[in-house]
Amino acid sequence: MIDLNTAAEQIWLDTQADCPNISIEVLPETDSTNTQLLARGRAGDTAPMLLAAHRQTAGRGRHGRQWVAQAGDSLTFSLGLPLDLDQVPGGGSALSLAVGLAIAQALDTGLASLPGPARQPITLKWPNDLWCQQRKLGGILIEATPAPGLTAGQRWVVIGVGVNLRPQGDPAKGLDHACLQELGTAPLTAGQVWGWIAPPLLRAVQRFALTGFAPLQAAYAQRDALAGQDVALWRAVSGNALLRGAPTDTGRADGVDQQGALLVHTVAGLQRWTTGDVSVRLAASAPPPTPPLA
């Protein structure tokens, strides 16, 4: 707690020029920082806010997946602010890509300030995962809700971030999860990493609202973990894509377009997939088909 509270004070100083009315709060424990900020927005508390938790008991990932953060294992925080995503040039659906890029760049900058050999850049798995050596280092969950007191078109947008700091307690998770400690650094604290990420994240979201994703396309391409890879795709049904059974489609990923849509060459031609439409995995790591019922 002391570590996160100390970081909060520095983050507040570092963000005053960009967002003088931001508030920053640290909770010892909560179910989910996203859930907490969504509730505050619906209650009319819509000033920009950063909320971090020392321990998170019911964090949520994409498609309802759970992210439980034990104290010290992960950094978990959320940023809430009013945005009119419909007015973003090119569309607001690429916000998760802009967020992921900002976090990856901030982590690389922070890690570069530490002693030790040069490290491979952190990569991005479309649409909302941070990757290290083709394993998940962190994730992003963006949710939006109407809220009282906002101007026409605005919604209360909550950006949840989780980053693994050290190996997970469950050995099975270690097979597909990475952590910052594996990069040869001395143990990093949640406050230290939060201080790296939060100010550039806020600035990146503010820029995205004005310019959209197109100016970020080239920088994203340099970190795109799926580009040129064979992938399997599962189409979402009612907002949920379950990664089991035969995939909806397969093909070779060909980067993202100026609106942040995933481009995949399939037998039917070039397909364009947007966030929320599909879940995607490298074909080599796709689960085996579900056997037929007897």
Check residue 63 and give its pLDDT. 45
Check residue 56 and give its pLDDT. 87
My answer on whether 159 and 134 are in the same domain is yes
Choose one of 221, 240, 269: the last residue of a domain: 221
My answer on whether 212 and 234 are in the same domain is no
Task: Give me the tens of pLDDT residue by residue for the chain, a chain 294 residues long.
Answer: 799 999 999 999 999 999 999 999 999 999 999 999 999 999 999 999 999 999 888 766 554 555 555 667 899 999 999 999 999 999 999 999 999 999 999 999 999 999 888 889 999 999 999 999 889 999 999 999 999 999 999 999 999 999 999 887 555 444 678 999 888 777 899 999 999 999 999 999 999 999 999 999 999 999 999 999 999 999 877 655 555 678 989 999 999 999 999 999 999 999 999 987 789 999 876 554 433 332
Residue 134 lies in a domain: yes
Choose one of 221, 239, 264: the last residue of a domain: 221
The bridge status of strand 23-27 relative to strand 49-53 is parallel
Number of domains in the chain: 2
My answer on whether 58 and 131 are in the same domain is yes
- CATH number of domain containing 256: 2.30.30.100
My answer on whether 212 and 242 are in the same domain is no
* Beta strands across the sheet bearing 129-132: 23-27, 49-53, 74-83, 155-164, 135-145, 129-132, 123-125
pTM: 0.91
Residue 156 lies in a domain: yes
Check residue 286 and give its pLDDT. 56
Tell me which residue has tokens 């479309």.
126
My answer on whether 196 and 250 are in the same domain is no
Check residue 244 and give its pLDDT. 62
My answer on whether 204 and 259 are in the same domain is no
Residue 272 lies in a domain: yes
My answer on whether 43 and 136 are in the same domain is yes
- In DSSP terms, 144 is beta-bridged to 157
My answer on whether 99 and 245 are in the same domain is no
My answer on whether 110 and 175 are in the same domain is yes
Residue 292 lies in a domain: no
How many Cβ atoms from other residues are within 10 Å of residue 4's Cβ? 24
My answer on whether 212 and 266 are in the same domain is no
My answer on whether 271 and 185 are in the same domain is no
Check residue 140 and give its pLDDT. 97
Residue 126 lies in a domain: yes
Residue 290 lies in a domain: no
How many Cβ atoms from other residues are within 10 Å of residue 207's Cβ? 15
Helices (H) and strands (E) counted in the chain, each on its own, are 5, 14
- Contacts of residue 115, defined as CB under 8 A and 6 or more positions apart, other chains included, come to none
> H or E stretch including 190?
helix 190-211
Choose one of 221, 243, 261: the last residue of a domain: 221
Residue 92 lies in a domain: yes
Phi-psi group of 239: left, alpha or beta (phi > 0 → left; psi -120 to 50 → alpha; rest → beta): left
My answer on whether 234 and 207 are in the same domain is no
Core vs surface per residue 54-66: b (16+ CB within 10 A) or e: bbbeebbbbeeee
- CATH number of domain containing 156: 3.30.930.10
Q: Which domain holds residue 9?
A: 2-221
> H or E stretch including 103?
helix 95-112
Residue 294 lies in a domain: no
